[in-house]
C-alpha cells in the first residue's frame, strides 16, 4: 500500500509538472502569436475585435500638402497653423517647422549624419527630440531651433509625447517610459496591454486628456491607451488614408492634436498629405 501510494504521489506530481509545462508553452504560443500580430495588421485588428476593445472611426475634415520624401517620425500641431515634424533616416534626419495650409517649410535643422531622428514633443518653450539607436536626446529652443542640451537614455528611442508634467517615451517594446522633465531620469514604466497581452512596436505618441494615442508599427492601426493603467481602451485603423501607390515604406506614423477644435492631425512616412480628422465612436 505504501509503495502504491508513493507511485501515485509521483504520478500525480509528474502530471502537475506536465500541466504546468503545457500552460507555459500555450502561454508562450499566445504571446508569440501576438508578437507576430504586431507585424500583421489583419491579425492585430482581429485580436482587438476579439478582445471587444471599442473601435473608433474618423471623418476627414481637411487635407494639407506634406513633402512625400519626409520619413515622418514625430509630429506636433501648434496653434496658429504651425506643425513641427521630426524626420528620420541616417543622413536625412531633420527637425522642421511647417506652415500647415501650404506645406511650406518655414524652418529646418539638419542633424549630423550619424543620428536617426525619432519622436518629438514640446513642453513650454523647449522642444525635445529622440534618436533611434544612438541613446541620445536633444533639447532645442522651439522658436530658434537652437540646441540647448543633450541627454541620454539606455533604450532605443521611438515615440515621444508629454502630459505637460513628464516626458512619455516609447522604445519599440510593450512599455512606455515616463521621464522627469528636469532630471530626464525614468520615473516609472507602464506596460501596455490588450486584456493582459503585451502590445509591442508602439511608435509615434500623442497624449490627449489622460489617454495616449500610439501608432503600432508597421500597421495603420492607432491604439488608445490609458496613461494610468496601460490598458488599450480603444483603437482605429487609418489604412484608407495610406497612399495607394506601391510604396513599401509608407507606414502610418505621426499623430498630433489640436485641443482647441478637438481634432487630430495624422500622416505617415513618405505620405503626400497631412490629414486633419475628427474621431468618433459609433453608438
Residues 6+ apart with CB under 8 A from 201: 38, 39, 172, 216, 217, 218
Say whether domain 54-280 belongs to CATH 3.30.1300.10: no
Per-residue pLDDT reduced to its tens digit, 104-119:
999 999 999 999 999 9
Per-residue pLDDT reduced to its tens digit, 198-256:
999 999 999 999 999 999 999 999 999 999 999 999 999 999 999 987 777 889 999 99
| Residue 276: exposure state from Cβ atoms within 10 A (0-12, 13-18, ≥19) | buried
Alpha-helical (H) ranges within the chain are 2-37, 41-50
User: For residues 72, 78, 82 and 88, what is the CA-based torsion angle, rounded to 10 degrees?
Assistant: -20
**77 within 8 A of 64, measured Cβ to Cβ:** no
Q: Phi/psi at 47 (nearest 5 deg)?
A: -65, -40
Per-residue pLDDT reduced to its tens digit, 16-53:
444 433 333 333 333 334 444 456 888 899 999 999 99
Q: How many residues are listed for the chain in this entry?
A: 283
Amino acid at each position: 500500500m505504501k509503495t502504491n501510494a508513493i507511485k501515485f504521489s509521483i504520478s500525480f506530481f509528474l502530471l502537475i509538472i506536465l500541466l504546468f509545462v503545457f500552460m507555459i508553452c500555450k502561454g508562450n504560443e499566445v504571446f508569440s502569436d501576438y508578437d507576430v500580430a504586431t507585424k500583421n495588421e489583419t491579425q492585430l485588428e482581429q485580436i482587438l475585435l476579439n478582445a471587444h476593445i471599442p473601435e473608433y472611426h474618423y471623418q476627414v475634415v481637411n487635407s494639407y500638402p506634406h513633402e512625400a520624401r519626409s520619413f515622418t517620425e514625430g509630429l506636433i500641431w501648434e496653434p496658429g497653423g504651425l506643425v513641427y515634424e521630426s524626420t528620420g533616416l541616417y543622413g536625412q534626419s531633420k527637425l522642421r517647422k511647417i506652415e500647415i495650409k501650404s506645406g511650406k517649410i518655414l524652418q529646418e535643422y539638419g542633424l549630423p549624419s550619424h543620428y536617426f531622428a525619432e519622436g518629438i514633443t514640446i513642453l513650454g518653450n523647449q522642444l525635445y527630440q529622440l534618436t533611434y539607436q544612438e541613446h541620445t536626446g536633444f533639447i532645442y529652443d522651439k522658436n530658434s531651433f537652437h540646441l540647448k542640451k543633450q541627454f541620454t537614455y539606455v533604450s532605443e528611442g521611438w515615440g515621444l509625447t508629454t502630459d505637460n508634467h513628464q516626458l512619455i517615451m516609447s522604445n519599440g517594446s510593450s512599455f512606455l517610459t515616463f521621464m522627469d522633465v528636469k532630471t530626464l531620469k525614468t520615473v516609472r514604466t507602464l506596460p501596455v496591454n490588450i486584456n493582459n497581452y503585451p502590445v509591442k512596436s508602439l511608435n509615434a505618441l500623442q497624449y490627449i486628456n489622460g489617454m495616449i494615442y500610439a501608432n503600432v508599427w508597421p500597421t495603420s492601426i492607432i491604439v488608445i491607451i490609458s496613461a494610468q493603467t496601460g490598458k488599450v481602451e480603444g483603437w482605429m485603423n487609418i489604412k484608407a488614408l495610406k497612399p495607394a501607390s506601391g510604396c513599401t515604406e509608407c507606414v502610418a506614423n505621426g499623430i498630433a492634436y489640436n485641443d482647441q477644435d478637438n481634432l487630430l492631425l495624422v500622416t505617415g512616412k513618405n505620405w503626400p498629405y497631412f490629414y486633419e480628422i475628427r474621431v468618433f465612436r459609433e453608438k
